Amino acid sequence: MRQTAALVLRLVLAAASLAGVVTQFVIAVQIDFGVVNFFSYFTTLSNLFASIVFLVGAAQIIRKKPVGPRWDAVRGSSVVYMAFVGIVFNTLLAGADVGPLLPWTNVVHHMLMPLAVVIDWLLLPPRTRLSLRTAFVWILVPVVYTVYSVVRGAITGFYCYPFFNPAAVGGYGGVALYCVVLLIGFIVLALVIRAVGNAMSRRSVPVR
């Protein structure tokens, strides 16, 4: 029953998320928003990654293919990134200008997908216990992304999110403060996702 629920969840939400990305990309091209700008959003990258993980995971359920610790780590990273997207958007960016975002894609990318990956993690928790090192590896992506966003923004003047823009947060001191707070929040979230996965791993099923 849990596998069937996870299969439906993965297929439906992956399709909705990818449809949202494609729709927003078409709009971005039409208004000359910039391809690089479009793919510089953490939300876009995280939704694409989570959709691929969902589709691969759905194929594994259908084929009854066993998975190993590496796949559990990949799934875990997707859960952390999407949960982070949901939390940050709905707490810090709900009223901010984040580009030409349609209402339905906003709901799918910032609300439904973050919720879906967490539910999927609970439905089919990892088979293996995740190490503390794995949780800290998950952190590398947002660190690299933050450096990229701040440096590129300083060069081009385009910032995906206002907390990366020194003009919006009182200078680079404000940017640094936001980055530190967000990094701490991300670390806490990664540790929580790891702990939940490890706590439920004994109840997991053979296919993820």
Query: 115-165: per-residue pLDDT in tens?
Result: 999 999 999 999 889 999 999 999 999 999 999 999 999 999 999 999 999
Residue 206, pLDDT > 60, answer no
Q: What is the pLDDT of residue 31?
A: 94
This prediction's pTM: 0.92
The pLDDT mean for the chain works out to 92
pLDDT at residue 207, as a whole number? 44
pLDDT at 165: 96
Q: Which residue has the higher pLDDT, 30 or 201?
A: 30
Q: How far apart are CA 208 and CA 54, in angstroms?
A: 10
3-state SS, residue 195 = helix
| 13 in any annotated domain | yes
Measure the N-to-C terminal CA separation of the chain; round to a whole number of Å.
Answer: 13
* φ/ψ bin of 130: left (φ > 0), alpha (ψ from -120 to 50), beta (otherwise): beta
Kindly state whether residue 121 falls inside one of the protein's structural domains: yes
Q: Is 208 domain-assigned?
A: no
- 81 occurs within a structural domain: yes
Q: For residue 167, tell me if it sits in a domain.
A: yes
Whether 83 contacts 117, CB under 8 Å: yes
The H or E element that residue 117 is part of is helix 113-123
What was the pLDDT predicted at 203? 58
91 belongs to a structural domain: yes
pLDDT category of residue 1 using cuts at 50, 70 and 90: confident
Q: In this structure, how many other beta carbons lie within 10 angstroms of the beta carbon of residue 98?
A: 16
40 in a structural domain: yes
Question: Domain range holding 132?
Answer: 2-203
Distance between CA atoms of residues 41 and 140, nearest Å: 16
> How many structural domains are present in the chain?
1
Confidence of residue 98 (pLDDT cuts 50, 70, 90): low
* pLDDT score for 208: 45
